[in-house]
Every structure is written in structure tokens, then in C-alpha cells.
């Protein structure tokens, strides 16, 4: 799992670039208890699995006997078939695709796993690159992401163009500074591999000129951050920022709901109406409140853990779910109590996504007749830059009709 410096690292580079004031704001907060979530712990474990496999490859392994590692403990948990099917095999498939896109009959070699790199010109600034590959023409810096919530990309839309993920730019600039010989005569590719996201592979090429500009921007951001009045700006980079709890740009709008400026409700129109602007503003405000709640809860917890008192609030032990003891003992005892087998054990089909991953591992294909798409249950909101295509009402109706007809045919057979 990537590590970063206290000043700026890959995961905080975008925040500092856009909001230099965040550095002092975060330092002013009380320290929070280090309580990583279950999702973070799972991600750390899967990073450890990939590190193990890539180190094997770096030492000359021509094939990876991954199933032999089943049951082996990585970080805090044993490796299971579910881990392999849902995350490890898909991640390796995306890595193979990434290499194929740039190989041109020139295979890649692993030259860095959890490689610590130093960012130029900022004392104490470093980062850890998950994986570095090279062949005669390219150097690839890949970052593993095992979350299934927020999708992360190598580049994002920015008006008519795009901008590269600041985390990847930070790693690339630091790697170029730390291991210049590795990059000699080679083009630089940065990539995100996130097997459980809608876009499991995202990559782009960055030039040395772009990296030099990024380094200059990073230097300017650090200088601005230590200035008396650092600039403050609110945006997507605030998503994981704990300083939201005390930031006036976040708390200010919540204190004045009149900023919503309600508009008269109108019928739907392709044109942007005052009511449409009102809905966009209201949605943004409410999403802001949800994000802010998480940070407030974290700061309250840290304050109480450190011995503070908050009127109306206290700490309590987390509720824990009771678990069965030895399954054989449970089965025997419940059987003696009169339970039937179907009242003790429950069987159900695995989710199709898991079955599909297993099929890929086995090299087989699941027959199409075993599955059928149900009629669409509706649509859901998405931001304009979401990679999914927008749903047109005519297309939606056609899709519903086709799916309904397919189900009717299945039922008639």
C-alpha cells in the first residue's frame, strides 16, 4: 500500500495544488485515531498479494502459481477464492492488457515493486509507486486500486481537454527524479488498475515537459501553503479532506439555506431552466452536507477519544455480531435440538460477476441461456463526466420492451 510524506504525497498532491490552505487547515485539526475501515484493510491485503506476485515475477518466475497461495495470510487475512475471482485475477488481466497495448513484441520486465521515490525540490516529500515495468520503449508506472466505490482514472475531462491524475503525475515526477537511468530513451505511461470499478483500466502517456510543469506547480503550491494567507478553494479534491469540518467554504453554505434560491417548478425541458439550476444547486448542497457529516463524526470521535467532552455526546463500545463456533459442533447440536438440515444450512447461487470471474480462471464460457437480463428497474443519477452514456427516453423504452419480450419468451419455453 502506498506511503506518503507528511508534507505532500501522491494522494494529497491534487488537494494541495488546488487548495494550498488545506495544509495548515489539516495540521490544525486534532489527531484522529488510526482506525482504517474494513474496505481499506481489504485493499491493503490485496496490495500485499499483488506485491508478492510481482516480486515473484521480478525474480524470474515465468508463470504465477497463484492458487498455491490460497490460505496464505496477506496483511491481516488469508487469501480466498473470492479474493482471486473478484480482484486478483481481474487485476492481472488488466495488467496483461496494459502491457499488450505497449509491448509491440517487446515484453516488459518488473523493475520496481513498492518503489520508494523522492519528489524533487520539496524537502521530505516522497511517495511509493506500486509497480514499475519497462521494455525498450516504455516505462509503465501502475497504481493498484481495489475499492469498488469511487472510480479512479488516469485522466479526467477538463473543459475541452483532459488533465492527468495528480497522484500519478506526482509518482512519475518523483520516479524520474529518483531513477533517471530507468527512463532514459523511454516514453512514460501512467496507469490505474481498479478491477472492481466500471473502468478497470485507465492509462495515458505523460511527457517530460508536462512533468517539469507539474513540479513547478507543486513548488508554487507549497510556497503558497506556507504563506500568511494561502488561497482556499473548494472542489472534488476535498472528498477525503478532514479539514472540511472547519472550512468556511464547506460550512458556510450549510448555514444559509436561502442560497438555494428556490425557483418555480416547471415541466422538463432540454433547455437549462431556472428550476433545473435550482435542482443542480440543491443536489450539490445536500451532497456537501453528507460528505461533511462524515468528517464531523470523525473529528468528534477523535476529540472524545483524546479525553474531550462534547455536550450531548459520548463514546460507547461498538456493537459486535455474534458468530457461530465450530460448524460441526453447531450442526450436531442443532440436529439434536430437532433442526432439519435445510433449517441449518442454506445454499444459494453465487453472484453472476463472481461466477464470470471463476469462468475466466477456468478458461470456460458460461452459456448465455443460463442468464437473462430483467427489465430495467429505472435510471439513476450520474454526473455529466461519468463515462456511462446518457439514457435517452426513447432508447429506455425500447430497451424495456425488448427485455420484457425476452423474459416472456423464456417463460413460455
CA–chain centroid gap for 52, Å, is: 21
pLDDT at 408: 54
Does a structural domain hold residue 80?
Answer: yes
Residue 386 backbone zone (phi > 0: left; psi -120 to 50: alpha; other: beta): beta
**Statement to judge: residues 294 and 337 lie in one domain:** no
pLDDT at 1: 45
pLDDT at 341: 86
Does a structural domain hold residue 234?
Answer: no
What CA–CA distance (Å, rounded) separates 138 from 189? 7
- Last-in-domain residue among 305, 324, 348: 305
For residue range 130-184, list pLDDT tens digits in order.
999 999 999 999 999 998 777 889 998 877 788 999 999 999 999 999 999 999 9
Average pLDDT over residues 17-21: 92
Average pLDDT over residues 174-195: 95
**Statement to judge: residues 289 and 378 lie in one domain:** no
Instruction: Give the percent of the chain with pLDDT over 70.
Output: 82
Number of separate domains in the chain: 3
pLDDT at 302: 76
289 or 228: which leads in pLDDT: 228
Contacts with 227 (C-beta within 8 Å, 6 or more apart), sequence order: 20
Closest CA to 191 of 108, 267, 82, 277: 108
Strand-pair partners of 190: 141, 204
SS3 179: coil
Average pLDDT over residues 243-272: 69
**Statement to judge: residues 143 and 203 lie in one domain:** yes
Closest CA to 294 of 236, 234, 241, 248: 241
Structural domain for 341, as ranges: 333-412
Does a structural domain hold residue 324?
Answer: no
**Statement to judge: residues 216 and 256 lie in one domain:** no
pLDDT at 278: 74
Does a structural domain hold residue 237?
Answer: no
pLDDT at 305: 79
Does a structural domain hold residue 64?
Answer: yes
CB 86 within 8 A of CB 353: yes
Q: How confident is the model at residue 113 (pLDDT cuts 50, 70, 90)?
A: very high
Does a structural domain hold residue 294?
Answer: yes
58-67, 145-154, 239-248, 395-404: segment of lowest average pLDDT:
395-404
pLDDT at 41: 85
Whether 373 shows a pLDDT value over 70: the answer reads no
For residue range 348-357, list pLDDT tens digits in order.
787 777 787 7
For residue range 302-320, list pLDDT tens digits in order.
778 788 888 888 888 777 7
Q: What is the pTM of this model?
A: 0.69
16-20, 38-42, 212-216: segment of lowest average pLDDT:
38-42
Closest CA to 17 of 235, 228, 287: 235
For residue range 396-408, list pLDDT tens digits in order.
445 555 555 555 5
pLDDT at 203: 96
Whether 116 shows a pLDDT value over 60: the answer reads yes
Question: Residue 203, CB half-sphere, CA atoms under 13 Å: how many?
Answer: 22
**Statement to judge: residues 299 and 340 lie in one domain:** no
Strand-pair partners of 139: 134, 188
Strands (E) in 174-300, as ranges, are 187-193, 201-206
What CA–CA distance (Å, rounded) separates 23 from 299? 17
Average pLDDT over residues 76-94: 90
Closest CA to 50 of 29, 30, 74: 74
**Statement to judge: residues 180 and 288 lie in one domain:** no
Average pLDDT over residues 217-237: 90
Does a structural domain hold residue 317?
Answer: no
83-87, 161-165, 214-218, 378-382: segment of lowest average pLDDT:
378-382
pLDDT at 284: 72
What CA–CA distance (Å, rounded) separates 357 from 215? 41
Handedness of CA 72, 74, 80, 81 (dihedral sign): negative
Average pLDDT over residues 332-357: 83
Average pLDDT over residues 28-39: 66
pLDDT at 111: 95
- Last-in-domain residue among 177, 193, 225: 225
Whether 257 shows a pLDDT value over 70: the answer reads no
pLDDT at 219: 94
Supply the mean pLDDT for the chain.
Answer: 82
69-83, 148-162, 333-347: segment of lowest average pLDDT:
148-162
Whether 70 shows a pLDDT value over 80: the answer reads yes
110 or 236: which leads in pLDDT: 110
175-179, 187-191, 322-326: segment of lowest average pLDDT:
322-326
**Statement to judge: residues 201 and 116 lie in one domain:** yes
**Statement to judge: residues 259 and 355 lie in one domain:** no
pLDDT at 2: 47
Amino acid at each position: 500500500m502506498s506511503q506518503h510524506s507528511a508534507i505532500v504525497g501522491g494522494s494529497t498532491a491534487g488537494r494541495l495544488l488546488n487548495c494550498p490552505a488545506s495544509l495548515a487547515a489539516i495540521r490544525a485539526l486534532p489527531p484522529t485515531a488510526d482506525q482504517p475501515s474494513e474496505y481499506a484493510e481489504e485493499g491493503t491485503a490485496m496490495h500485499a498479494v499483488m506485491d508478492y506476485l510481482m516480486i515473484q515475477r521480478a525474480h524470474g518466475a515465468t508463470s504465477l502459481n497463484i492458487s498455491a497461495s490460497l490460505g496464505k495470510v496477506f496483511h491481516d487475512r488469508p487469501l480466498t477464492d473470492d479474493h482471486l475471482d473478484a480482484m486478483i485475477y481481474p487485476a492481472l488481466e488488466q495488467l496483461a492488457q496494459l502491457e499488450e497495448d505497449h509491448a509491440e513484441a517487446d515484453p516488459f520486465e518488473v523493475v520496481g515493486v513498492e518503489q520508494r521515490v523522492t519528489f524533487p525540490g520539496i524537502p521530505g516529500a516522497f511517495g511509493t509507486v506500486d509497480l514499475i515495468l519497462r521494455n525498450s520503449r516504455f516505462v509503465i508506472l501502475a497504481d493498484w486500486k481495489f475499492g469498488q466505490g469511487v472510480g479512479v482514472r488516469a485522466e479526467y475531462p477538463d473543459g475541452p481537454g483532459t488533465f492527468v491524475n495528480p497522484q500519478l503525475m506526482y509518482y512519475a515526477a518523483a520516479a524520474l527524479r529518483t531513477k533517471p537511468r530507468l527512463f532514459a530513451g523511454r516514453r512514460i505511461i501512467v496507469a490505474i488498475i481498479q478491477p472492481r470499478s466500471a473502468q478497470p483500466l485507465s492509462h495515458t502517456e505523460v511527457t517530460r515537459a508536462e512533468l517539469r510543469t507539474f513540479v513547478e506547480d507543486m513548488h508554487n503550491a507549497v510556497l503558497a501553503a506556507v504563506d500568511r494567507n494561502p488561497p482556499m478553494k473548494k472542489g472534488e479534491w476535498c472528498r477525503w479532506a478532514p479539514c472540511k469540518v472547519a472550512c468556511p467554504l464547506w460550512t458556510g453554505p450549510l448555514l444559509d439555506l436561502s442560497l438555494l434560491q428556490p425557483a418555480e417548478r416547471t415541466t422538463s425541458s432540454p433547455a437549462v431552466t431556472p428550476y433545473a439550476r435550482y435542482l443542480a444547486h440543491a443536489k450539490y448542497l445536500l451532497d456537501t452536507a453528507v460528505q461533511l457529516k462524515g468528517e464531523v463524526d470523525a473529528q468528534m470521535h477523535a476529540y472524545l477519544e483524546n479525553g474531550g467532552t462534547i455536550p450531548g455526546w459520548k463514546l460507547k463500545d461498538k456493537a459486535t455480531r455474534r458468530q457461530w463456533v465450530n460448524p460441526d459442533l453447531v450442526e450436531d447440536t442443532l440436529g439434536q435440538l430437532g433442526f432439519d438440515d435445510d433449517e441449518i444450512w442454506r445454499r444459494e447461487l453465487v453472484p453472476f460477476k463472481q461466477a464470470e470471474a471463476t469462468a475466466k480462471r477456468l478458461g470456460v464460457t458460461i452459456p448465455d441461456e443460463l442468464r437473462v437480463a430483467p427489465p430495467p428497474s429505472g435510471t439513476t443519477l450520474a454526473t455529466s463526466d461519468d463515462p456511462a452514456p446518457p439514457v435517452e427516453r426513447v432508447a429506455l423504452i425500447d430497451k424495456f420492451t425488448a427485455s420484457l419480450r425476452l423474459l416472456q419468451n423464456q417463460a413460455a419455453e
